[in-house]
Amino acid sequence: MSKVFLSRGFYSFTHLLIYCGHQTGIYLRLGWRLRFTGVMLMLRFGPRVAILWGMLLLGAACTRKTVSFSSRLDEPMPGAGASGDSLTTTKKKNPKLSIAGRKAVISKEEERKAKEEEKASQRKPNKKKKIFLGQRIKRGYFKTGTGKNQVVTIFYYLKNFKQPSAMAPAVYYFNPKKKKIFAANGELDPAADKVLHGPFKRMVNNQIIEQGYYAMGTKHLRWERYDNKGGLTAKTHYEMGFPRDANISYYDGANTMIKEVIPYVNGKLEGDYVKYTAGGKREWIGHFENGRRVGEWTNYWDYKGYRRYVLQYGESGYEPEVTEPELIREYSHGGSPIYDKEKNLDKRGDADPDATKNDPRRPGSHGVPAQRAPVRKPAERRPGYHPKPTVTPPAVPASPTTPVP
């Protein structure tokens, strides 16, 4: 019985020494040495010395210690001095981590710059303003025709309306309602008309057939025309509506009052023709192509720049020139249409339509009345009779070397 008891006690006590040595060795990294020492003392000096050794180990295991995961055998014991470990348990209730991971301190100016850069990166990029010759412009286009013969016209116009110069030979504008580009006949309407200003391009089946630039409603810089295969057929240089090689005559010696502009390109009549009165108003405008008059030629009254006659010449300058143009429109002295061939309108035998207009002055006003158009007496003629215009387009020299009259 005694041997059994001793053997059981020996093994139980041995397990107790191993447990205490293991618990103490967790902190001191000496677990295997303590366990071996306890077993050797028990075998050599008996259970009393082993019990004393076990009590010491048990007390060491139950004592609160400082824990360090980076301690080594050659370092001083924990608690002997200040520890530089970042992960340590202390007796304080709320231990704080090292400040090594805290956010770096920046100045207010740097913080402000950082916020501005962040806002700038979040903003949408500003669209570049479209500007041509110092004026802001907008893009427009319209289409005519269908299928392969559809014509696409791309153009630009003034964003802020400005009235073109009255001395310009020909002014072009876009009408949004009619979706068409017209040549101006007098002052433009700021609310409805868009003055062309900027690049211009006309295409058929994605092939450019005409391109150039407008400046304040007039043709400017180089204009080119192409055939359907992309071959260049014509090239003209303009300066604010006037051909670069045009002959310009003046009424005065200071060259301030223009009398006539005769367009020439490579020695031939080519481009827009214009003639002015001594008062600076337009008298005739028309167009030359290949040395011949083509298209519409317009004559103006001296009163407010109203149109008087519109004559029609041939459509192309490469066909024989029409010697006697056809009258297609006529207007009264006040600007009212009295004859239009396309609309089948003929009021030339009636009384002047502008003579019956009411005076726009308010009741009771005794100011100077507005200038009125002269009353035109009805002409006595047989029905169907259409007299020829009393004026004809001026004679133009065929080449720039011929003296200008």
The domain segmentation of the chain, as residue ranges, is 1-65, 130-242, 245-355
Out of 41-50, 247-256, 395-404, pick the least confident. Answer: 395-404
| Average pLDDT rounded to a whole number, residues 132-144 | 94
Tokens of 346: 């003929």
What residues contact 135, with CB distance under 8 A and at least 6 apart?
158, 159, 160, 162, 197
Burial-class residue 217 by CB neighbours within 10 Å (0-12, 13-18, 19+): buried
What residues contact 124, with CB distance under 8 A and at least 6 apart?
none
The answer to whether 67 touches 26, Cβ cutoff 8 Å, is: no
Give residue 92's pLDDT.
52
The answer to whether 323 touches 308, Cβ cutoff 8 Å, is: no
Task: Give dist(CA 63, CA 394) in Å, integer.
Answer: 126
DSSP-derived 3-state class of residue 42: helix
Beta strands in 205-281 (DSSP E): 207-215, 218-226, 232-239, 242-243, 247-250, 258-262, 264-265, 268-269, 271-276
| Average pLDDT rounded to a whole number, residues 353-382 | 55
Give residue 144's pLDDT.
92
Tokens of 23: 């618990």
- Give the confidence band of 331 by pLDDT, cuts at 50, 70, 90: very high
DSSP-derived 3-state class of residue 128: coil
Give residue 129's pLDDT.
78
pLDDT per residue as tens digits for the range 13-35: 555 555 555 555 544 445 556 55
Give residue 404's pLDDT.
37
Give the pTM: 0.53
Give residue 33's pLDDT.
62
Strand partners, 300: 307
Give residue 140's pLDDT.
96
- Give the confidence band of 253 by pLDDT, cuts at 50, 70, 90: confident
Of the ranges 20-34, 53-67, 328-342, which is most confident? 328-342
**For residue 6, is pLDDT > 50?**
no
